Amino acid sequence: MSDYKPPIPSDPQVRLIKPTSKLRPRSWEGEASHLVTQGTGLWRVTGAAGSGVSSVVVDTVIERIRQGWEPSSMLVIATSKESASRLRQEISEYVSKMDYVSEGPLVRSVHSLAFALIRDASDEDIRLITGAEQDAVIRELLRGQAEDGHGGWPPEQREGLRMVGFARQLRDFLLRAVERGVGPDELVALGEQYEHANWTAAGNFLREYKQVMSLAGSHSFSASELVTEALRGPEPAVKYRGVFIDDAQHLDPKSAELISRFFPEAELAVVAGDAEQSVFRFRGANPDFLNKLNADHELVLESKREASTSVVVAETESAHADLIADTVRRAHLIDGRSWSEIAVVVRSAGMIAPIRRTLLAAGVPVHINPTDVVLSEQRIVAAMILGLRALTELLNPIELEDLLLGPIGGADPVTLRRLLRGLRQAEMKMGGQRRAIVVLGDLLEETDAEMLGFLTERELNLLDRVRSVLDSGRQALADKGSIEEVLWALWSATDLSNSLSAISLRGGASGSQADRDLDAMMALFDAAGDYVERRPSAGVRSFILHISEQELPTGMRERRGAIPEAVEVLTAHGTTGREWKRVIVAGVQEGSWPSLGETGTLLGQEEFVDLVDEGIDPDIIISRSVERLAEERRLFYLATTRATETLLVTAVNSPDSDEVREPSRFLDSLRQPIVVFEGEETNQIAEPEELGNRLLSIPAMVAELRRVVNDPRDPRRKQAARQLSRLAEAEIPGADPSQWMSLREPSTEEVLVEGRIFLSPSRIEKLLNCPLRAVLDRLDSEEETPIAMLKGTLVHAYAEAVAGGVDPSIAEEKVTSAYMQLANVPGWSHESAEIAFRRILTRTHTWLQNSRADFTEVGTEMDVSVTIDDTVSIRGRMDRLERNRSEELVVVDFKTGKTQIAVKDMADHPQLSAYQLALSRGVLRNGKISDPDVGETPDPVGGGLLVYPAIDAKAVGQRMQDPKTQEDLDEFAAMLPGLAEHLRGPNLLARVNPTCSNCPVRSLCPVQPEGRVIHA
């Protein structure tokens, strides 16, 4: 086996330092001081963002501990696990120097409290399931109802049972019902009472869901069910001397009712929050508990936060991305702010990934809350799941490539391609016909010494690397190891833990990605452990299905003792209770902010909530636009009040682009002048010496220096060269001229083709368009056949079969069946695709019948091989050859596209012209067109015909090319030797042509913007 190990950065060193506390003593005056030091009774504490509402709660708790209150006699409630963790960390830091001992967690989320109450009151084995697990169970049950036809869903909704969107809306609907204590029977009754069939079906579904979950051996609750279940239980036996609730505006009514049970016995109860930050109505939250609380005392704090605010609008998406990256880097490099003191806030989770890529490309370390990420979508997790699958099943070709290119294989595309070519050559030498990727799959299953003998050492290293990892997993399976043990065997064999740990310790952008990968693997092992604990006898395949079916973010255990030193990118909802020195609220666009779309429309979720909470008849039409707009304004307010020093709000204004982008109306509420950022070549936000025209990153700086060095007119060339030399000595990528592709020598000067060149008529057409594409298109022999080519091939096969005497209906069934199997048509369009293809076959048959009045068939799929001169021959295959009434040969070519060539362009059609040339210089012999013997004369040529059976017209489309004159043919023939020379290489000509828009090699082409950077 190979000794290959992942590269580990040299000399990773770790130095432990004493943590520096960022907390500072606070002082309070007036009513706030009274509450903190000696307050009693029920208090309501409110205040705008930055006024210190949470700080009052923390300081009151700390003061009570200082006064000698038992920590176990105080209950501190946060509305989420994340906010509870932050409060707990802050309180722990303050009391770390006190004589402090606690029997349990001082700060709990409301769901943690409910879970503890249920556990104390019940002898059953209970557990909390994640939202991702619940979503997977719901989708599985819905699939079963769709297949069996039961469930009572309305006919118009039954088709949606298999769709993820329907499952998500059903889950949200059931959560809102459970939060309000509405069970299956009540839900069915409401559906029948108000004639909402989908409510009745949802109630029956909820009943089935509860029955299925009860079969798991333990009583499983979702977070929403916990509170309702806790309220059904007896009065809490535990009593608290102090009860403190932070961010009370985020509580739903049932959570508020549960917490209120502890108020009567409490010496001090504090309910704190800000109704203007209530942004979780879609989760059932309601600020009424905070607003309508019958408090003994009320404290209203004034905001002390005064962050400087600026609003910048970019004219393009790329300029917008540069603006964000540049602002972040300057805040860190020039203003001295640590990465963790900077945050980028976006409206929705879908906007996180583009911002993350932008920042990473600029060398900025990025941290994303794991709760914003779906576990199975993490690249390293997907690779490990793929490795687990390879232990128990055969992977398809695409999955095999992913396995080798991913973390398990560690290969780059060039090395993989070299391995596949080596396997293909070895297979051919051994007389086999298997595709290279199939051979690779077989070698991963079983060693073939003879096959391996043909491979180079580099190719063997890659193959041995993957085999060693999979063999470790197979051995663990053979030893009857648990899912955790099999997964650990795979992970250990990759040795990625050492590599990623070393990269993580070095920090920076790559370090933040390594952190993310390690966090993802920890979450995967947590999931495996939990799964084994619940299902000890379950196999690897069931665990793979369990992870793969999760399409919601999975909560992960918090193990970090310190905040990651990285810029946090998060949604506006995720900023609740947080603050940073520098905040960028990015992409504030009309249409996405405010987002006024309705939620839960499939099941009437908002009508249901209004009915249960307010008693409003669901049949009464209520406009919620004002309500939704108000919540969106509160969300914008929340996002723009997180900065303590500087706030930047950005948007894109591109009214003339393909996708019109317009800044949000909310920008006006900031009452700040709007500055336009147009990019590098136009107006800047500030003077060049202050802001600069370039993104403040190493790649951008190297690029600018290289541009100056390569411009002979720029007086700064020598200075730029000196700076590049310094950067090259520091091993900065791209600074050393030896890394510049334009200065490198070609790896070979050998020609691609020697001797005679054979040109097919279709290749002649491609060479006339672009020789570069014509050559590169043929290099990758492993690619799947494009759908258009597949369709054309099958239509030609049908025409040939019918011409050969096969019954048209039988030929149609065979060819259609083959097309539907090979075309990989999505299920939703299967029927329409089959109808469209059958229509093409029917019209092809119609043309074959109707054309017999003008043509007599000579042959189909006929080979052509005719010499043009000493260097070039035409070699190919004709679809059909016919004789017209004048006994002239006419070449016929079927085209399955829906666009016909213009009549004016037919005279110059290169494919038909090439066939006419071949017919004019060859003879028909034994069903082939070949060079004439001495004394043989070619038959007269009557032109060429294109047939379009797929066009949307009553008649089958036709385009005729008139017979070429001898002068035209000689001129065409004289062009071919020069055209053939383009194939010889080693230099290939790139040419702009009408097919550039769909060219697969644009990124390599020197005449396209995408590829120009390679050749600069």
Q: Write out pLDDT tens, residues 806-846.
A: 898 999 999 998 888 877 777 777 888 889 899 999 999 99
* Superfamily grouping for domain 30-125+228-301: P-loop containing nucleotide triphosphate hydrolases (3.40.50.300)
* Phi and psi, residue 862, nearest 5°: -95, 130
Mean pLDDT of 696-707: 83
- Taking residue 779's Cβ as centre, other Cβ atoms within 10 Å add up to 10
**Whole-number Å distance between alpha carbons of 861 and 840:** 19
Which residues participate in the annotated binding site for ATP? 47-54
Which residues participate in the annotated binding site? 47-54
Give pLDDT, residue 281.
Answer: 81
Looking at residue 747, the DSSP 8-state letter turns out to be S
Q: How confident is the model at residue 561 (pLDDT cuts 50, 70, 90)?
A: low
Residue 584, pLDDT > 90, answer yes
Q: How confident is the model at residue 890 (pLDDT cuts 50, 70, 90)?
A: very high
Answer yes or no: same fold for 30-125+228-301 and 754-781+857-1016.
no
Residue range 10-62, pLDDT digits in tens: 555 667 767 666 667 788 888 889 998 998 999 999 998 888 898 999 999 99
Give pLDDT, residue 303.
Answer: 80
Structure tokens at 460: 């063997």
- Taking residue 741's Cβ as centre, other Cβ atoms within 10 Å add up to 9
Residue 1007, pLDDT > 70, answer yes
Domain boundaries, the chain: 30-125+228-301, 130-220, 308-369+565-677, 375-548, 698-743, 754-781+857-1016, 784-853
Give pLDDT, residue 82.
Answer: 80
**Whole-number Å distance between alpha carbons of 636 and 572:** 8
Give pLDDT, residue 3.
Answer: 46
Query: Higher pLDDT residue, 169 or 787?
Result: 169
**Residue 259 burial (C-beta neighbours within 10 Å; 0-12, 13-18, 19+):** buried
What is the longest distance spanned by two Cα atoms in the chain?
Answer: 121
Yes or no: is domain 375-548 CATH 1.10.486.10?
A: yes
Q: How much helix, strand and coil, in percent to the nearest 5, is found in the chain?
A: 50, 15, 35
**Beta strand residue intervals within 277-430, DSSP E:** 297-301, 308-314, 342-346, 366-367
Mean pLDDT of the chain: 83
Mean pLDDT of 914-924: 93
* Superfamily grouping for domain 308-369+565-677: P-loop containing nucleotide triphosphate hydrolases (3.40.50.300)
Mean pLDDT of 563-570: 87
Give pLDDT, residue 855.
Answer: 92
For the chain, give the percent of residues with pLDDT over 70: 91
Give pLDDT, residue 300.
Answer: 92
Mean pLDDT of 511-539: 80
The reported pTM is 0.69
**Whole-number Å distance between alpha carbons of 211 and 201:** 15
Evaluate whether 437 touches 397 at the Cβ level (below 8 Å).
yes
What CATH number has the domain spanning 754-781+857-1016? 3.90.320
Give pLDDT, residue 580.
Answer: 93
Evaluate whether 248 touches 272 at the Cβ level (below 8 Å).
yes
Mean pLDDT of 981-992: 85
Q: How confident is the model at residue 688 (pLDDT cuts 50, 70, 90)?
A: very low
Residue range 174-213, pLDDT digits in tens: 888 887 788 888 888 888 888 888 888 888 888 888 888 7
Q: How confident is the model at residue 560 (pLDDT cuts 50, 70, 90)?
A: low
**Residue 658 burial (C-beta neighbours within 10 Å; 0-12, 13-18, 19+):** exposed
Q: How confident is the model at residue 685 (pLDDT cuts 50, 70, 90)?
A: very low
Reading across the β-sheet that carries 41-47, which strands appear in turn? 107-109, 74-78, 242-245, 268-273, 41-47, 297-301
* Phi and psi, residue 102, nearest 5°: -130, 140
- Taking residue 972's Cβ as centre, other Cβ atoms within 10 Å add up to 19
Residue 528, pLDDT > 60, answer yes
Query: Higher pLDDT residue, 123 or 955?
Result: 955
**Whole-number Å distance between alpha carbons of 840 and 860:** 18
For the chain, give the percent of residues with pLDDT over 90: 20
Residue range 928-964, pLDDT digits in tens: 999 998 888 999 999 999 999 988 888 888 999 999 9
Give pLDDT, residue 643.
Answer: 92
Q: Is 903 helix (H, G, I), strand (E, B) or coil?
A: helix
**Beta strand residue intervals within 751-849, DSSP E:** 757-759
Cβ neighbours of residue 53 closer than 8 Å, sequence gap 6 or more:
45, 46, 47, 246, 272, 273, 274, 301
